[in-house]
Every structure is written in C-alpha cells, then in structure tokens.
Chain A
Amino acid sequence: MTEAAASPNGSPGTTRVSIVSGPLVGPVLRRVVGMLAARADLPLDRLDDAVLVADLIASRAPAHVQSASVDVAVETGDRTLLLRVGPLRPGGGEALIVDASVPGVGNVIEQLADDVSIAPDGDSEYLLVRLAYSS
C-alpha cells in the first residue's frame, strides 16, 4: 500500500455516491459500482472483483467514516475503475483495509485491487482502490 496525494473529489466525469450508514449502503454501492465497472469494459471476473470490493467497503467503511454517511467517488477509464472512499477519520484508511481481512484468506481488498493507497486531506483521508484489466 502506498500513500497518495490524489485529489479527493476526482477528475471531471467522476460519479459520487453518498449513502447514510445503514442498510442501504451495501445494495446501492454494489449496484452503482457494478454498473460503472461494466461501462469501463472490465471483463466479468474483474467486474465480480469490483462488486466484491464494493461489498467489503460497504460493510466496513461505516466504522471509519468522519460523518454519518459513506461517500465513494467512482472514476472510470479504459478497463480501469478507481474508487475513492472518504472522507475517513485519520487512520481510517488503514483500519478499513485491516477490517477487510478474512481469516484464512487474508486481505481481500489488497488481493483483488491493482493498487491500494491512502490520500491524506487535512484532518481526514481517503482510501483509493484501483481495479484494472490488462489484456
């Protein structure tokens, strides 16, 4: 994992979704991420990976966000998907990744993503997860 200094709000063309922590986070986030992964032309196995990462973020992020909502910005490129999760409280990015570990499997987000980094932003930080497919 690296520390990045990326813009937390993403570039033009970014889709942002903000969901109040609770039962809607998982269903909404997995559908939005799945839809955008398909549009980024990720193949089916990587699309599944993206949805699994979205599910993990939805279940673990509420414990680490700064406000009452889980905010995710999704940026799509050619067979690339970048998720910016936050604002998270200080240390929240690392804690979220650790929380996503599954006994016997290890850290699922780090295993599925091509790149995982944390971008500090004042008193908060963002977790950046990039999934790509290179043929």
Chain B
Amino acid sequence: MRSSPSSPYLREISGVIGATPSPVRLSLPAKAGNIAVVRRALEAVAEELALPRRLVEDMRLAVTEACTNVVRHAYSGAEADQASALRVDLLPHARGMRVIVEDQGRGLGPSPDTGGPGLGLPLITTLTSALQVSRGAGNRGSRIAMSFAPAIEAA
C-alpha cells in the first residue's frame, strides 16, 4: 500500500525541497516523443508523493498541454533538437506540486490552427490552482509555472 501524503517519503522530499529550488529538472529536445518522457517523470514523482489520482490526472493533462505548446509552436527546424529546448522543473511541496515548463523559442503566440488563442491556456488555467505565464530566461521564449493542489472536499 502506498503511503499517505503525510508519510516519511513526503517529509523527506519536503526537506530536500527546502535545500534546493528544483528537485527534478528535465532538459530535452522539443520533440513530440519527449512529452511521454516528461509524463513518466511526473508520474514517478506523483507516485512517490502518493498524490490523489484525480490530481495526478489533472497534472498530466495540463503538463502535456504545456509541453505540446512548446513542441508545436516554440521552435522551427533544428532549434528544437537542442538538449535544453524544453525544460521542465518538478517541485513537489507539502500539499501538491509545482511544475514549470520553459522554452527558449518564440514564446507564446496565436494558435496556427485558429489564428487566435487556442484552448491550451484556458484548459491549463482550469486544471491548476495557480498559474503564472511569463517570458523565459533571458527574456526569451515562455515560462509557464503551474501549481497543483488537491481540491478540498466540502464536509
């Protein structure tokens, strides 16, 4: 049986977090196949934290959407092959997880399919407890910081 969120696992991980800003960082080429790699890492951390299944599903969907945006829109040609084209930080905290998806490409723009804003960001907004969208490091690309926390059920 998995441990509860107040388990020694979480306390140990929380201690680690206090010492460093990014417990898990993935730097990958911005390729569609690498979105599955990010999801695997996310699932591993969520499992270790014994996060609620519903929350993990929301996280998976939102992070997939954010990474897909990078793969589809941030780069052209060989730029996407750079090892740090897509950077994902997983930062567990006492009640959930913060995930930062960052690129060094063109940044956010209108969806090429619709000519206007796509459904990605509204979907991510719905799935997260907090969302920050800004320029990436060096004022290049985009940085999407998503916070996830379990919903508090009404008594």
What would 7 more interface pairs be, CB under 8 Å, given A15-B29, A18-B22, A28-B24?
A13-B81, A15-B26, A16-B28, A19-B25, A22-B12, A24-B23, A39-B33
Interface flags, B5-44, vs A, CB<8A=1, else 0: 0000100110010011011111111000110110011011
Q: Is the interface of B mostly helix, strand, loop or mixed?
A: helix
B109 to nearest A CB, angstroms? Answer: 25
Tell whether, in the assembled complex, residue A27 and residue B45 are in contact, meaning their CB atoms are under 8 Å apart: yes
Tell whether, in the assembled complex, residue A24 and residue B25 are in contact, meaning their CB atoms are under 8 Å apart: no
List residues of chain B with CB under 8 Å of any chain A CB: 9, 12-13, 16, 19-20, 22-29, 33-34, 36-37, 40-41, 43-45, 47-48, 78, 81-84, 92
CA distance A18 to B78 in the complex (A): 24
Interface flags, A5-44, vs B, CB<8A=1, else 0: 0000110111111111111100110111011100100000
Contacts of A18 in B (CB 8 A): 22, 24-27
CA distance A12 to B81 in the complex (A): 6
Tell whether, in the assembled complex, residue A17 and residue B26 are in contact, meaning their CB atoms are under 8 Å apart: yes
CA distance A15 to B23 in the complex (A): 17
Residues of A56-83 contacting chain B, CB below 8 A: 68-69, 73
Contacts of A34 in B (CB 8 A): 40
Tell whether, in the assembled complex, residue A13 and residue B83 are in contact, meaning their CB atoms are under 8 Å apart: yes
A33 to nearest B CB, angstroms? Answer: 10
Query: 13 A-B Cβ contacts within 8 A?
Result: A12-B83, A14-B29, A16-B25, A16-B26, A16-B28, A19-B24, A20-B22, A22-B16, A22-B23, A23-B13, A24-B45, A32-B26, A68-B19
Tell whether, in the assembled complex, residue B27 and residue A28 are in contact, meaning their CB atoms are under 8 Å apart: no
CA distance A20 to B13 in the complex (A): 9
The 8 Å CB contact of A19, one of B19, B23, B37, B83, is B23
Tell whether, in the assembled complex, residue B23 and residue A20 are in contact, meaning their CB atoms are under 8 Å apart: yes
Contacts of B12 in A (CB 8 A): 22-23
Interface flags, A84-126, vs B, CB<8A=1, else 0: 0000000000000000000000000000000000000000000
Nearest to A36 among chain B residues (CB) is B37
